[in-house]
Chains A and B, each alone.
Chain A
Amino acid sequence: MAIVKNDSLIEQEWITVDAEGDLPSSDENLIVPLERFKEERDSLLGRNGGLGVQLNPGDAPEDLADDLDRLSIITVNFPAYTDGRGYSYGRVLRERMGFTGELRAVGDVLRDQILYMHRCGFDSYDLKVEGEVALNKVRAALKEMSVYYQPTGDGRVTAQSLRERRRAALGQKAS
């Protein structure tokens, strides 16, 4: 298991807890499922450690609208790589709701989906392979393609906008 963020391997600093059961000490950094967050919001926000929320397929990221600035991390669970709901959650969180914390893909996170996740706003990936292997996978995945048609909030320049710039430049040259 390794977590890759910003072209580096990072330590797991978060404890992900279940929907029920005892919580670790107040100083620990916790990630709780959305359902539990909704139920125990006030006591969770009153803890000392960092707080994050995990979205599972079927959850509504909109439920976090009032609390985004209190969350350091949101994890989005992809229980199977074929379940693509998390891509929409990523875009809604980043582009619509303006979440600026860490957005981590967890679950069945595989090389061939990482570029899509990145384009949808994810900035960290919890992979089921170790260290350097994980880092190399993420690096390879992120540079496999260099042309993008869709405007998403990821800051990549689309083919369309490059075309427009080129046309404008050619137009200036011609005149």
Chain B
Amino acid sequence: MYRYDDFDRQLVHERTEQFREQVKRRLAGDITEEQFRPLRLMNGVYLQLHAYMLRVAVPYGTLRADQLRQLGMIARVYDKGYGHFTTRQNIQYNWPKLDEIPDALLDLAKVEMHAIQTSGNCIRNTTTDQYAGAAADEIEDPRPYCELIRQWSTFHPEFTYLPRKFKIAVTGSPNDRAAVKVHDIGLRMHQNDAGETGFEVIVGGGLGRTPFVGKTIRDFIGKNDLFSYLEAILRVYNRFGRRDNKYKARIKILVHEEGIDKIRELVEEEWSQIKDGSLRVDDAEIAHYIEQFAPPAFETLADDDADFERHKSENRRFANWVRSNVIEHKQPGYAIANVSLKPIGGIPGDATDTQMELVADLSEKYSFGDVRVTHEQNLVLPHVKKADLFALWTALDADNLGTANLGYVTDIISCPGLDYCALATARSIPLSQRISERFSDLDRQHDIGELKIKISGCINACGHHHVGHIGILGLDKRGKEFYQITLGGDASQDASIGKIAGAGFSEAEVVDAIESLVTKYIDIRDGGERFIDTYRRVGMDPFKEVLYGDR
């Protein structure tokens, strides 16, 4: 894993001190809340419904054990004993006190963490595949490129006051687990005809109130040229992106209004002028970063483990967990273990201080001290020996972290909604809890199979409802919450935006509505079809009928 050197440390240290001064100026009344706002936002401090919220960056979703342990400590000391992992692989604290935030940032800096650019109209935290460096289907580990993007984008002097926020996602695998097609820029690693590895560059994807699947601006950019190409896109966006209307300011609108061909022309013209400049990264430099993400010291093992098989046959709950939460690893004898933060009836993505400390300890014991955060709001121990899985699960299960539901109907993405968020129009957490409780039976969940429910508490779509197989959008109608259902969304390599099924449902009705959709799917599915496959085969009508009948 990447370790800060003295330059990285110095930068974060200086930033922390800078913010301490800014908070001091604010608390002393030297600057108004209005003047303080952009300064705090650049440091991840939002003002929410009830309190300030601190969003801490987890670059490309990768954490070391000591970092996760520190996140747990921060939850205990500066918050109410928990934190919330987000769809951007970050963590949010909901109850910090403003005068204590500089100390929290100092404690983060001690473990090479910060809250830089987790807000504001700048390039945000780069996200990637949570299984990077472990996945059997990976072409190459995307994290070295993510780290290079992190550095390039941190305090980029030209791109800190963009028309709007800007999100980059990278996948090193053909099976896209990073939702790259719904980001401002998505990078998909692949090989060209000459056998070189590089990236397909996708621009203009996004969710929010105007969702788009991104379009390919360049089928292949070599690794050495990636950064100058990103700079060219950002410069075109910074110069030509709309600034007259906040809701039309994302690059997706520019791409939509001008057309991808026109944007490609502008970007290629810009790139032709900078491609041979100082942003070209040579092979030796890339090799240096690849080395920093070198695989841990895997043992040479047989792929099967007799004890592991025995535990599976003896312990049904363990076998269930393996079935849903354990993924194939590229190294024989190892596995990827997903730690669900979606216990039945729980708050999606929340983890307590002690849970974070436990996962940190377990990662040291079983996964080379490596932990990942997923955009689906779970954690991952990426490198676990199959022989250790039972001991790992037993320890997780003892602290309510052994839920066997990855990818199932209860593995719900949810934004914080009206319980916390100043923008929300409806609550989303209680609804996700009720859906989770309704489908709590594990055999039934397994029978339903992969079904991604995603809930947003407002049109800004932080809960990714547009790309939920079933999406739920909470709205407000004359002071009453109601929920609109979309069907057929998908964030994977087959990305699509869900379609609105029809009129919204009251909070009381919506769980029944979800259940009737699921029942219909079970009734009409073909063989091993997932919900999304069935939807794509039969279309909206059969589902609409169970929701609305003749209505």
Q: A57-B243, A82-B121, A163-B5 are in contact. Are A147 and B14 (CB under 8 A)?
A: yes
> A63-89: contact bitstring with B at CB < 8 Å (1 yes, 0 no)?
000000000000000000111110110
| Cβ-defined contact, B161 with A119, below 8 A | no
Q: A83-B243, A151-B279 are in contact. Are A146 and B157 (CB under 8 A)?
A: no
Residue of A nearest to B161 (CB): A84
* Selected contact of B7 from candidates A87, A116, A163, CB within 8 Å: A163
Contacts A/B (CB < 8 Å), 24 sampled:
A57-B243, A84-B158, A84-B160, A84-B162, A87-B159, A87-B160, A88-B235, A88-B238, A91-B158, A112-B38, A115-B157, A144-B14, A144-B18, A145-B15, A147-B7, A147-B8, A147-B10, A147-B11, A147-B14, A149-B156, A150-B156, A151-B278, A159-B8, A159-B11
Interchain nearest-CB distance for B525 vs A (Å): 50
| Cβ-defined contact, B11 with A145, below 8 A | yes
Identify which of residues 97-136 in chain B touch chain A, using a CB-to-CB cut-off of 8 Å. 121
The answer to whether A29 has its CB under 8 Å from any CB of chain B is: no
| Cβ-defined contact, B157 with A116, below 8 A | yes
The answer to whether A162 has its CB under 8 Å from any CB of chain B is: yes
The answer to whether A26 has its CB under 8 Å from any CB of chain B is: no
Q: List 12 extra interface pairs beyond A83-B161, A88-B158, A96-B273, CB under 8 A.
A: A81-B38, A85-B243, A91-B158, A119-B157, A120-B158, A144-B14, A145-B15, A149-B11, A149-B152, A159-B8, A162-B7, A163-B5
List of 7 A-B pairs having minimum Cβ-Cβ separation, nearest first? A84-B161, A119-B157, A151-B278, A159-B7, A147-B11, A116-B157, A87-B158
The answer to whether A113 has its CB under 8 Å from any CB of chain B is: yes
Interchain nearest-CB distance for A95 vs B (Å): 8
Q: Which residues of B contact A (CB under 8 A)?
A: 5, 7-8, 10-11, 14-15, 18, 38-39, 121, 151-152, 154-162, 235, 238-239, 243, 273, 277-279, 285
Identify which of residues 21-48 in chain A touch chain B, using a CB-to-CB cut-off of 8 Å. none
Residue of B nearest to A57 (CB): B243
Task: Give CA–CA (A145, B116) in the complex, Å.
Answer: 14
Q: A88-B238, A144-B14, A160-B285 are in contact. Are A152 and B158 (CB under 8 A)?
A: yes
Task: Give CA–CA (A147, B38) in the complex, Å.
Answer: 22
Sort chain A's interface into a size bin.
20 to 34
Q: Which A residues are in CB contact (< 8 Å) with B238?
A: 84-85, 87-88
Task: Give CA–CA (A82, B238) in the complex, Å.
Answer: 11
Q: Which B residues are in CB contact (< 8 Å) with A159?
A: 7-8, 11, 151
Q: A96-B273, A144-B18, A160-B285 are in contact. Are A150 and B152 (CB under 8 A)?
A: yes
Q: Which B residues are in CB contact (< 8 Å) with A115?
A: 157
| Cβ-defined contact, A82 with B38, below 8 A | yes
Q: Which A residues are in CB contact (< 8 Å) with B14?
A: 144-147
Q: Which B residues are in CB contact (< 8 Å) with A151?
A: 277-279
Q: Which A residues are in CB contact (< 8 Å) with B277?
A: 151
Task: Give CA–CA (A146, B239) in the complex, Å.
Answer: 27
Interchain nearest-CB distance for A67 vs B (Å): 20
Q: Which A residues are in CB contact (< 8 Å) with B239?
A: 85, 88
| Cβ-defined contact, B155 with A149, below 8 A | yes
Q: Which A residues are in CB contact (< 8 Å) with B38?
A: 81-82, 112
Residue of B nearest to A83 (CB): B243
Task: Give CA–CA (A116, B243) in the complex, Å.
Answer: 20
Interchain nearest-CB distance for B485 vs A (Å): 36
Q: Which A residues are in CB contact (< 8 Å) with B7?
A: 147, 159, 162-163
Residue of B nearest to A150 (CB): B156
Residue of A nearest to B7 (CB): A159
> A146-172: contact bitstring with B at CB < 8 Å (1 yes, 0 no)?
111111100000011011100000000
Interchain nearest-CB distance for A65 vs B (Å): 13
Task: Give CA–CA (A120, B279) in the complex, Å.
Answer: 15
Residue of B39, B154, B158, B239 contacting most chain A CB atoms (<10 Å): B158
Interchain nearest-CB distance for A148 vs B (Å): 8
Task: Give CA–CA (A57, B161) in the complex, Å.
Answer: 13
| Cβ-defined contact, A150 with B235, below 8 A | no
Identify which of residues 94-115 in chain A touch chain B, using a CB-to-CB cut-off of 8 Å. 96, 112-113, 115
* Selected contact of A149 from candidates B18, B154, B243, CB within 8 Å: B154
Interchain nearest-CB distance for A166 vs B (Å): 9
Residue of B11, B162, B239 contacting most chain A CB atoms (<10 Å): B239
Task: Give CA–CA (A145, B278) in the complex, Å.
Answer: 21
Q: Which A residues are in CB contact (< 8 Å) with B162?
A: 84
> A114-126: contact bitstring with B at CB < 8 Å (1 yes, 0 no)?
0111011000000
Residue of A nearest to B273 (CB): A96
Q: Which A residues are in CB contact (< 8 Å) with B152?
A: 149-150
* Selected contact of B39 from candidates A91, A112, A144, A162, CB within 8 Å: A112
Task: Give CA–CA (A116, B160) in the complex, Å.
Answer: 8
Interchain nearest-CB distance for B272 vs A (Å): 12
| Cβ-defined contact, B161 with A152, below 8 A | no
Q: Which A residues are in CB contact (< 8 Å) with B154?
A: 149
Task: Give CA–CA (A71, B162) in the complex, Å.
Answer: 28
